[in-house]
Amino acid sequence: MDSIMWHYEKLGSFSVSSGYKFDCNEGSNPGSSALSGDVSWWKFLWRMKIPLKVKIFVWRACENWIPTRTNLLLRKVPSDSICPCCDQKAETTMHALWCCPLLRPIREVCGFTKDCWGDDNSMFLDFMIYCRRQLVQEEMDLICQILWRGWYNRNRGVHDAAKMCNKEVVPCARAFQEEYLLANHALNAEVSDRRGNGPIWQPPYKGTYKINTDAALSVGDGIVGVGIIIRDYVGNVIASSAQAVQYGCCVLIAEALAIKKCLLLARHVGLELGFIESDAQVAVNLINNPDIPYSEVGLIIKDIKSLLEEFSDFVN
C-alpha cells in the first residue's frame, strides 16, 4: 500500500512548523495562514514571565538543539539513540521532555495538558504551539518551568547525580515559578503587608525610581548579607542584587557599601531616582549629617555624598 510522505520533514510526517516553512517558501502570505502561529510563538515566548534560563532552554528545545541521544547521534557524537531513562525508545526531544513513559507522573499531575497533542516523533515546536492554543498564560508559564526542571532532572540522572522523583518535578517547578513571580513582578509590597513584615512599600513619584537596601549580619560565620532592589513607580523590579560578603569590619560599613552600590548601579543604568530607602538608619544619619566621620566608614560616606549630588532627592 502507498503512503504519503511529507518531504519537508526528515521523518516524512507532516508537522505544523514544516508546513509553515513550506507555506512561506511557496510565497503565500504567512499572515493569512492558519499555520502562522510560530511567528507569534517566538514573540510570546520572549515575553513570558519565566526566568531567562527557562526561555533559552525552551527556545533551544524548539530548535531541536538540546543534547538528546538522537540529536547527539545526528551530530556524529558517539552515542546510541535509546533513552537513558526508560531504555525503551529513541530519545527525541519530544520523548525526552514529554513522552518518555517515566515522565508519566509529570503528565498526570499536569491535568491541564490532557488535550495537548504530541508523540515521540512530533516536533517539539509544534507541541509548544499547540499547547499555547490550549492553555492559559499561567499554565504555559508553568509548563515551561516543568519542562526545564524535568530536563534538569534527566541530566542529573544521566550524570549519576542525585535526582528527584518525577512526582516531585511539578510541585518543585510550581514553587520556583511562584518564587520567580514574587521576586520579579512587584508582589513584594503586598506580601510584606500580608505577612506583617515591616512597612508597606510606598511608590516614588511617577517617572522616578526607588531603591531599597538592607544589610544583615550573620554573627556566627562573620558574613554580611547585602540586598538591594530598584523599583519603578508602579512597583516593577528594575534591578536587584543580593550578596553575601565576608566582613572584617562591622555592619555599618556593609550597610554604607550597600547604599553606595545602589547609587553606582542607578548611575550605571541612568535611572532618575526619586527616593532611596534604607533600613540602615545609622548609615542614613551619617549621610544626612554635614560632618563626615574621620574613619573607614567616613570614606564610604564621602563617596555616597558625591554620588548623591548627581541625583535630585535623598529620603531615608
The contact set with Zn ion (CB under 5 A) reads 83, 85-86, 100
Q: What would the 3-class secondary structure string for 244-266 be?
A: EEECCCCHHHHHHHHHHHHHHHH
Taking the least distance from each CB to Zn ion, the nearer of 118 and 204 is: 118
Least distance to Zn ion, CB of residue 31, Å: 39
Q: What minimum distance in Å lies between the beta carbon of 98 and Zn ion?
A: 10
Q: Cβ closer to Zn ion: 81 or 134?
A: 81
What whole-number distance in Å separates Cα of residue 299 and Cα of residue 213?
A: 19
By the 8 A CB rule, do 80 and 87 touch?
no
Helix (H, G, I), strand (E, B) or coil at 112: helix
- Write down the number of H helices and E strands in the chain: 13, 4
For Zn ion, the closer CB: 45 or 96 = 96
Q: What are phi and psi of 300, to 5 degrees?
A: -70, -40
**Shortest CB 94 distance to Zn ion, Å:** 11
DSSP class of residue 302? Answer: H
Helix, strand or coil, per DSSP, at residue 18 = helix
Contacts of 167-171 with C-beta under 8 Å, sequence gap 24+, read: 167/105, 167/109, 169/105, 169/106, 170/106, 170/109, 170/110, 170/146
Closer residue to Zn ion, CB minimum distance, 35 or 85: 85
Nearer to Zn ion, 85 or 142 (CB): 85
Instruction: Locate 234 and state its grid cell.
Output: 508602579
Instruction: For residues 20 and 130, give the distance between their C-alpha atoms in angstroms, rounded to a whole number.
Output: 14
Helix (H, G, I), strand (E, B) or coil at 218: strand
Beta-ladder partners of 232: 209
Closest separation in Å from C-beta 106 to Zn ion: 12
- For residue 171, the minimal CB distance to Zn ion (Å) is 22
Which residue number, 91 or 232, has a Cβ lying nearer to Zn ion?
91
Nearer to Zn ion, 88 or 289 (CB): 88
Closest approach, Cβ 157 to Zn ion, in A, equals 11
274 to 45, 205, 261: CA distances (angstroms): 33, 6, 17
Question: Shortest distance, CB of residue 89 to Zn ion, whole angstroms?
Answer: 6
